[in-house]
């Protein structure tokens, strides 16, 4: 199936290690099960999900040290074409531990190395150099310390030249900056966040899908992004753009791990947009992929089989 070129961007990647233990408690040594290692980081997982769904994506990844070399090997093993950018120090790793007795999951995430002044500017130039005209760029995941909070806006301006579509999934200070200081002349095509992030930015609870849609519409009206997508956990996803307010609910599924659900959504959603599907189709497929991801253990992402199985059970309504 024809699709536009997709490039994902991950500035603060990690090697994700997942294991199980009977019970988490302080004091004694906790003997974990045999660990599983996966390449991690928002943009990396989006590219991996796209590959699993039958699409093609390339990954721009900042890598450093021996851990960066391991991450590069893991990506090569999955068949993801890598554009490596030299990062300072060691690439970080993260640990996800599931408690067998309760099913609870504990996630430990280390910070990335501090980037020196000027490194982010070189990264912007390197990204622009590999972007295909008319392609899709996904900036996803946290930023390393030292990278300015306005990086998403600076990237949007860079991509105006090649006419690439920018999709942003970020959090914390970069998200706050994007919302507080929008650039209506160069807005991202899509801004995605989860419900916790949305309520933090809004400064209030958003208990109903209509509340979420109203908040998203206000962001669109201010020029923060052309389209805003907000995840509502088990209640699905809300999408708002000019003249369109959608809510897509997933079917009820057994949740094994929530890790990777957002990245799986982004993979399926981005792939459909790259195939020039309409917004309804993209939202439904993204919601189905997120549902597929939560039925898998540890850091596992969605599968094509489960995504296609869950898609018909995703209910779509206009708000």
33-61 tens-digit pLDDT: 999 888 999 999 999 999 999 999 999 99
CB atoms within 10 A of CB 5: 17
Per-residue pLDDT band at 299 (split at 50, 70, 90): confident
* DSSP 3-state of 316: strand
Residue 35 lies in a domain: no
147-181 tens-digit pLDDT: 999 999 999 999 988 889 999 999 999 999 999 99
What are the two backbone dihedrals, phi and then psi, of residue 129, each rounded to the nearest 5 degrees?
Answer: -70, -25
Residue 106 lies in a domain: no
CB atoms within 10 A of CB 62: 26
Residue 1 lies in a domain: no
Residue 184 lies in a domain: yes
88-117 tens-digit pLDDT: 999 998 998 989 999 888 989 888 899 999
- Give the count of domains, the chain: 1
pLDDT of residue 89: 93
CATH number of domain containing 300: 3.40.1190.20
- Whether residue 298 has pLDDT greater than 80: no
Q: Which domain holds residue 284?
A: 6-15+44-94+114-318
Residue 26 lies in a domain: no
The active-site residue, picked from 195, 263, 276, 306, is 263
Give the pair of three-digit tokens for residue 137.
């760029």
pLDDT of residue 309: 96
Residue 125 lies in a domain: yes
- Whether residue 214 has pLDDT greater than 90: yes
Strand-pair category, 244-249 with 237-241: antiparallel
Per-residue pLDDT band at 20 (split at 50, 70, 90): very high
Q: Any idea of the CA torsion for 143, 124, 218, 313, to the nearest 10 degrees? A: -70
Residue 220 lies in a domain: yes
Mean of all residue pLDDT scores within the chain? 94
Residue 178 lies in a domain: yes
Residue 242 a catalytic site member: no
């Amino acid at each position: 199936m024809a699709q536009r070129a997709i490039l994902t961007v991950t500035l603060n990647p990690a090697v994700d290690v997942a294991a199980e233990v009977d019970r988490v408690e302080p004091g004694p040594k906790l003997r974990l099960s045999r660990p599983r290692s996966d390449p991690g980081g928002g943009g990396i997982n989006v590219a991996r999900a796209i590959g699993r769904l039958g699409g093609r994506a390339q990954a721009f990844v900042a890598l450093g040290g021996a851990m960066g070399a391991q991450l590069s090997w893991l990506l090569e093993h999955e068949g993801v074409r890598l554009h490596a950018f030299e990062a300072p120090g060691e690439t970080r790793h993260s640990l996800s531990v599931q408690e067998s007795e309760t099913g609870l999951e504990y996630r430990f995430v280390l910070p990335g190395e501090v980037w020196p002044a000027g490194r982010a500017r070189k990264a912007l130039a390197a990204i622009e150099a590999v972007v295909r005209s008319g392609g899709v760029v996904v900036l996803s995941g946290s930023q390393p310390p030292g990278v300015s909070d306005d990086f998403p806006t600076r990237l949007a301006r860079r991509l105006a030249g090649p006419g690439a579509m920018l999709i942003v999934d970020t959090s914390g200070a970069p998200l706050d900056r994007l919302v507080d200081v929008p650039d209506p002349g160069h807005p991202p095509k899509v801004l995605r966040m989860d419900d916790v992030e949305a309520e933090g930015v809004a400064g209030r609870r958003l208990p109903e899908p209509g509340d979420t849609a109203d908040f998203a519409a206000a962001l669109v009206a201010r020029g923060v992004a052309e389209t805003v997508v907000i995840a509502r956990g088990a209640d699905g996803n809300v999408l708002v753009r000019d003249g369109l307010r959608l809510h897509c609910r997933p079917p009820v599924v057994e949740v094994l791990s929530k890790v990777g659900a957002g990245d799986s959504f982004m993979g399926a959603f981005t792939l459909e947009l790259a195939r020039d599907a309409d917004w309804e189709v993209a939202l439904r497929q993204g919601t189905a992929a997120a549902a597929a991801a939560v039925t898998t253990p540890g850091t596992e992402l969605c599968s094509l089989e489960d995504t296609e199985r869950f898609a018909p059970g995703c209910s779509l309504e206009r708000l």
